[in-house]
Amino acid sequence: MAKLKVGILISGRGSNMAALIEAAKEADYPAEIALVVSNVADAPGLAIARREGVPTVVISHRGQPDRETFDRAVSAELERHGVSLVVLAGFLRIFSPWFPTRWADRLINIHPSLLPCFKGLHVQQQALDAGVRLSGCTVHFVIPDLDAGPIIAQAAVPVLADDTAETLSARILRQEHRLYPLVVRWFAEGRIGLAAGRVAIKGVRPDAALLFSPAP
Protein backbone atom coordinates (compact mmCIF):
# COMPACT_ATOMS: atom_id res chain seq x y z
CA MET A 1 0.00 0.00 0.00
CA ALA A 2 1.35 3.43 -0.98
CA LYS A 3 2.44 5.61 1.91
CA LEU A 4 1.02 9.08 2.49
CA LYS A 5 3.39 11.75 1.19
CA VAL A 6 4.09 14.45 3.76
CA GLY A 7 5.59 17.89 3.18
CA ILE A 8 7.17 19.65 6.16
CA LEU A 9 7.61 23.43 6.40
CA ILE A 10 10.37 24.76 8.67
CA SER A 11 12.16 28.00 9.44
CA GLY A 12 14.72 26.90 12.04
CA ARG A 13 16.25 23.90 13.77
CA GLY A 14 13.58 21.45 12.65
CA SER A 15 13.48 19.25 15.75
CA ASN A 16 9.89 18.15 15.10
CA MET A 17 10.84 17.57 11.47
CA ALA A 18 13.66 15.32 12.66
CA ALA A 19 11.25 13.38 14.89
CA LEU A 20 8.96 12.81 11.92
CA ILE A 21 11.82 11.72 9.67
CA GLU A 22 12.94 9.26 12.35
CA ALA A 23 9.42 7.87 12.74
CA ALA A 24 9.08 7.44 8.98
CA LYS A 25 12.11 5.11 8.95
CA GLU A 26 10.01 2.40 10.59
CA ALA A 27 8.79 -0.14 8.04
CA ASP A 28 5.22 -0.06 9.32
CA TYR A 29 4.95 3.73 9.45
CA PRO A 30 2.25 4.68 6.91
CA ALA A 31 3.74 8.02 5.81
CA GLU A 32 6.91 9.16 4.08
CA ILE A 33 8.56 12.57 4.16
CA ALA A 34 8.47 13.66 0.54
CA LEU A 35 9.75 17.22 0.90
CA VAL A 36 11.05 19.77 3.39
CA VAL A 37 10.51 23.44 2.51
CA SER A 38 12.13 26.35 4.32
CA ASN A 39 11.81 30.08 3.89
CA VAL A 40 15.27 30.50 5.47
CA ALA A 41 18.26 29.38 3.40
CA ASP A 42 20.49 28.60 6.38
CA ALA A 43 17.86 26.97 8.59
CA PRO A 44 19.68 24.23 10.55
CA GLY A 45 16.87 21.78 9.85
CA LEU A 46 17.74 21.75 6.15
CA ALA A 47 21.09 20.12 6.89
CA ILE A 48 19.36 17.41 8.91
CA ALA A 49 16.88 16.70 6.11
CA ARG A 50 19.60 16.56 3.47
CA ARG A 51 21.70 14.24 5.59
CA GLU A 52 18.69 11.91 5.80
CA GLY A 53 18.19 12.01 2.04
CA VAL A 54 14.96 14.01 2.14
CA PRO A 55 14.45 16.45 -0.77
CA THR A 56 14.62 20.09 0.30
CA VAL A 57 13.61 23.39 -1.27
CA VAL A 58 14.30 26.95 -0.12
CA ILE A 59 11.71 29.57 -1.05
CA SER A 60 12.55 32.95 0.41
CA HIS A 61 9.71 35.19 1.47
CA ARG A 62 11.89 38.21 0.96
CA GLY A 63 11.25 40.20 -2.19
CA GLN A 64 7.84 38.63 -2.73
CA PRO A 65 5.17 41.19 -3.64
CA ASP A 66 2.72 39.80 -1.06
CA ARG A 67 2.02 36.82 1.20
CA GLU A 68 -0.19 35.02 -1.27
CA THR A 69 2.49 35.02 -3.96
CA PHE A 70 4.88 33.35 -1.54
CA ASP A 71 2.19 30.90 -0.41
CA ARG A 72 1.43 29.92 -3.99
CA ALA A 73 5.12 29.25 -4.67
CA VAL A 74 5.31 26.97 -1.63
CA SER A 75 2.12 25.20 -2.63
CA ALA A 76 3.41 24.60 -6.15
CA GLU A 77 6.49 22.80 -4.78
CA LEU A 78 4.39 20.68 -2.45
CA GLU A 79 2.12 19.68 -5.30
CA ARG A 80 5.09 18.93 -7.56
CA HIS A 81 6.30 16.40 -5.00
CA GLY A 82 2.89 14.77 -4.66
CA VAL A 83 2.33 15.90 -1.08
CA SER A 84 -1.03 15.05 0.49
CA LEU A 85 -0.46 16.35 4.03
CA VAL A 86 1.37 19.56 4.96
CA VAL A 87 2.97 19.65 8.39
CA LEU A 88 4.21 22.88 9.98
CA ALA A 89 7.24 22.37 12.20
CA GLY A 90 8.46 25.72 13.44
CA PHE A 91 7.47 27.55 10.28
CA LEU A 92 7.63 31.21 11.24
CA ARG A 93 5.37 32.69 8.62
CA ILE A 94 1.76 33.80 8.82
CA PHE A 95 -0.13 32.57 5.77
CA SER A 96 -2.46 34.53 3.60
CA PRO A 97 -6.01 33.11 3.72
CA TRP A 98 -5.31 31.42 0.39
CA PHE A 99 -2.94 28.76 1.73
CA PRO A 100 -5.05 27.20 4.51
CA THR A 101 -8.03 27.34 2.17
CA ARG A 102 -6.09 25.56 -0.59
CA TRP A 103 -4.87 22.90 1.86
CA ALA A 104 -8.01 22.75 4.00
CA ASP A 105 -8.16 19.62 6.20
CA ARG A 106 -4.67 18.66 4.97
CA LEU A 107 -2.62 21.24 6.89
CA ILE A 108 -1.62 20.72 10.53
CA ASN A 109 0.51 22.53 13.08
CA ILE A 110 1.94 21.86 16.52
CA HIS A 111 1.74 24.68 19.05
CA PRO A 112 3.58 24.64 22.40
CA SER A 113 0.59 25.27 24.65
CA LEU A 114 -2.72 23.65 25.49
CA LEU A 115 -4.86 25.59 23.05
CA PRO A 116 -7.03 27.60 23.19
CA CYS A 117 -4.83 29.01 25.97
CA PHE A 118 -1.70 31.01 25.20
CA LYS A 119 -1.71 31.68 21.49
CA GLY A 120 1.02 33.45 19.57
CA LEU A 121 4.64 33.73 20.72
CA HIS A 122 6.48 33.31 24.04
CA VAL A 123 3.81 30.90 25.19
CA GLN A 124 5.89 29.25 27.92
CA GLN A 125 6.42 32.62 29.57
CA GLN A 126 2.71 33.31 29.17
CA ALA A 127 1.98 30.07 31.02
CA LEU A 128 4.41 30.92 33.82
CA ASP A 129 3.02 34.43 34.16
CA ALA A 130 -0.52 33.02 34.40
CA GLY A 131 0.50 30.61 37.16
CA VAL A 132 -1.00 27.52 35.51
CA ARG A 133 -0.13 24.07 36.85
CA LEU A 134 -0.34 22.33 33.48
CA SER A 135 0.99 23.24 30.08
CA GLY A 136 1.80 21.22 26.98
CA CYS A 137 1.36 21.14 23.24
CA THR A 138 -1.47 20.88 20.74
CA VAL A 139 -1.66 19.47 17.22
CA HIS A 140 -4.43 21.18 15.31
CA PHE A 141 -5.73 21.80 11.83
CA VAL A 142 -4.68 25.16 10.41
CA ILE A 143 -7.31 27.71 9.42
CA PRO A 144 -6.87 31.37 8.42
CA ASP A 145 -7.19 32.49 12.07
CA LEU A 146 -3.92 32.15 14.01
CA ASP A 147 -3.68 29.15 16.38
CA ALA A 148 -7.42 28.62 16.13
CA GLY A 149 -8.05 25.47 14.08
CA PRO A 150 -9.80 22.31 15.32
CA ILE A 151 -7.77 20.43 17.92
CA ILE A 152 -6.64 16.92 16.99
CA ALA A 153 -4.60 15.86 20.03
CA GLN A 154 -2.74 17.30 22.99
CA ALA A 155 0.06 16.37 25.37
CA ALA A 156 0.21 17.81 28.87
CA VAL A 157 3.15 18.35 31.19
CA PRO A 158 3.31 19.68 34.76
CA VAL A 159 4.54 23.21 35.35
CA LEU A 160 7.06 23.03 38.19
CA ALA A 161 7.59 25.67 40.85
CA ASP A 162 11.14 26.40 39.73
CA ASP A 163 10.46 26.32 35.99
CA THR A 164 11.81 28.92 33.63
CA ALA A 165 10.56 29.46 30.10
CA GLU A 166 13.54 27.41 28.91
CA THR A 167 13.02 24.40 31.19
CA LEU A 168 9.28 24.33 30.51
CA SER A 169 9.91 24.62 26.79
CA ALA A 170 12.31 21.64 26.90
CA ARG A 171 9.77 19.51 28.77
CA ILE A 172 7.05 20.38 26.27
CA LEU A 173 9.33 19.74 23.30
CA ARG A 174 9.91 16.15 24.38
CA GLN A 175 6.15 15.62 24.21
CA GLU A 176 5.92 17.33 20.83
CA HIS A 177 8.34 14.73 19.49
CA ARG A 178 6.00 11.97 20.75
CA LEU A 179 2.73 13.55 19.70
CA TYR A 180 3.41 14.77 16.17
CA PRO A 181 4.48 11.40 14.68
CA LEU A 182 1.45 9.79 16.33
CA VAL A 183 -0.96 12.28 14.78
CA VAL A 184 0.64 11.93 11.34
CA ARG A 185 0.28 8.16 11.67
CA TRP A 186 -3.43 8.54 12.47
CA PHE A 187 -3.87 10.85 9.51
CA ALA A 188 -2.10 8.45 7.14
CA GLU A 189 -4.25 5.58 8.41
CA GLY A 190 -7.39 7.55 7.61
CA ARG A 191 -8.44 7.71 11.24
CA ILE A 192 -8.87 11.47 11.58
CA GLY A 193 -12.25 12.87 10.66
CA LEU A 194 -13.45 16.46 10.84
CA ALA A 195 -17.09 17.48 11.06
CA ALA A 196 -18.69 20.71 12.25
CA GLY A 197 -15.35 21.98 13.45
CA ARG A 198 -14.64 19.00 15.71
CA VAL A 199 -12.19 16.15 15.27
CA ALA A 200 -13.01 12.48 15.76
CA ILE A 201 -10.30 9.81 15.67
CA LYS A 202 -11.63 6.47 14.47
CA GLY A 203 -10.64 3.38 16.39
CA VAL A 204 -8.73 5.37 18.99
CA ARG A 205 -9.88 5.73 22.59
CA PRO A 206 -10.74 9.36 23.42
CA ASP A 207 -8.10 9.41 26.17
CA ALA A 208 -5.44 8.32 23.69
CA ALA A 209 -5.62 11.76 22.09
CA LEU A 210 -4.21 13.24 25.32
CA LEU A 211 -0.70 12.22 26.34
CA PHE A 212 0.44 13.09 29.83
CA SER A 213 3.97 12.98 31.15
CA PRO A 214 4.56 11.81 33.77
CA ALA A 215 1.56 9.50 33.57
CA PRO A 216 -1.15 10.41 36.13
Q: Which domains can be identified in the chain, with CATH numbers?
A: 1-103 (3.40.50.170), 111-216 (3.40.50.170)
User: pLDDT tens digits, residue range 116-144?
Assistant: 999 999 999 999 999 999 999 999 999 99
| Catalytic member of 61, 81, 111, 177 | 111
Cα–Cα distance measured from residue 49 to residue 56, given in angstroms and rounded to the nearest whole number: 7
What residue type is assigned to position 44 of the chain? P
In the annotation, is 61 catalytic?
A: no
Cα–Cα distance measured from residue 17 to residue 88, given in angstroms and rounded to the nearest whole number: 9
* Alpha-carbon distances, residue 188 vs 19, 76, 106, 150, 158 (angstroms): 16, 22, 11, 18, 30
Please compute the mean of the pLDDT values over residues 152-159 and round it to a whole number: 96
- As a whole number of Å, the end-to-end CA separation of the chain is 38
Cα-to-chain-centroid distance, residue 136 = 14
Angle 165-188/15-24 helices, nearest 10 degrees? 40
Angle 44-51/15-24 helices, nearest 10 degrees? 10
pTM, full prediction: 0.95
Q: Residue 214 — pLDDT band, cuts 50, 70, 90? A: low
User: pLDDT tens digits, residue range 38-91?
Assistant: 999 999 999 999 999 999 999 999 989 999 999 999 999 999 999 999 999 999
